[in-house]
Amino acid sequence: MDVRLGNGFDVHAFCEGDHLWLCGVKLPHGRGLLGHSDADVGMHALTDAIYGALALGDIGRHFPPSDPQWKGAASHIFLAHAIEQARARGFALGNADVTLICERPKIGPHAEAMRAALAGIMGVDLDRISVKATTSESLGFTGREEGIAAIATATLVKP
Ligand code: MG
């Protein structure tokens, strides 16, 4: 059995707005997230974890921010591409674990919807996908609510 492990990390800054996208779920919020795409920081971290497990670089290599066709893009395009790369090489997703780091919005009430959204995009069972959150105890840029950070881990398995 060939088992691969990848990690991903991403940050997006808050900007003016009334909603944001996190792990495929649109949340009403007093601010938005700044980014070339829809700025779904959790999905970007997960996408990079899958690329990392495959040693295929990062999201910017496959979807360059300099390319205007990805402006405002829905991030499920990126995640679907990453999992397609895995399947094309004979790998299945073992599990994925995403941690969102922010003071607000509160993630807990939305975590199940986020798990379902990610599982749906990747075509895997819900019990393989974890979404959780932590604050940084009011410290640093996440603590000052200047932006949201996310880390993700993914395992890929080839029988
Ligand atoms: Mg990003």
- Tell me, in angstroms, the distance from the centre of ligand 1 to residue 10's CA: 5
Give the helix, strand, coil percentages of the chain, each rounded to 5.
35, 35, 30
- Tell me, in angstroms, the distance from the centre of ligand 1 to residue 1's CA: 32
- Tell me, in angstroms, the distance from the centre of ligand 1 to residue 39's CA: 6
- Tell me, in angstroms, the distance from the centre of ligand 1 to residue 27's CA: 17
The mean per-residue pLDDT over the stretch 129-156 comes to 98
Percent of the chain residues past pLDDT 90, beyond the cut:
92
- Tell me, in angstroms, the distance from the centre of ligand 1 to residue 124's CA: 23
**How far is residue 91's CA from residue 159's CA, in Å, rounded to a whole number?**
8
Provide the pLDDT for residue 57.
Answer: 98
Q: Predicted confidence band at 32 (pLDDT cuts at 50, 70, 90)?
A: very high
What structural domains does the chain harbor? Answer: 2-158 (3.30.1330.50)
- Tell me, in angstroms, the distance from the centre of ligand 1 to residue 100's CA: 13
Residue 15, Cα to own-chain centre: how many angstroms? 19
Q: Predicted confidence band at 136 (pLDDT cuts at 50, 70, 90)?
A: very high
pTM of structure: 0.97
- Tell me, in angstroms, the distance from the centre of ligand 1 to residue 11's CA: 6
Tell me the torsion sign for CA atoms 52, 133, 131, 78: negative
The mean per-residue pLDDT over the stretch 53-66 comes to 95
Residue 16, beta-bridge partner list? 31
- Residue 65 pLDDT > 90: no
How far lies 151's CA from each of 6, 34, 59, 61, 88, in Å?
11, 18, 14, 19, 25
Provide the pLDDT for residue 116.
Answer: 98
Pair 8, 48: CB distance under 8 Å: yes
Residue 131, beta-bridge partner list? 98
- Residue 58 pLDDT > 90: yes
Pair 23, 151: CB distance under 8 Å: no
- Tell me, in angstroms, the distance from the centre of ligand 1 to residue 90's CA: 27
- Tell me, in angstroms, the distance from the centre of ligand 1 to residue 123's CA: 22
Q: What is the pLDDT of residues 81-118, one digit of tens each?
A: 999 999 999 999 999 999 999 999 999 999 999 999 99
Q: Predicted confidence band at 70 (pLDDT cuts at 50, 70, 90)?
A: confident
Mean pLDDT, the chain, whole residue set:
97
**How far is residue 56's CA from residue 64's CA, in Å, rounded to a whole number?**
14
Provide the pLDDT for residue 72.
Answer: 84
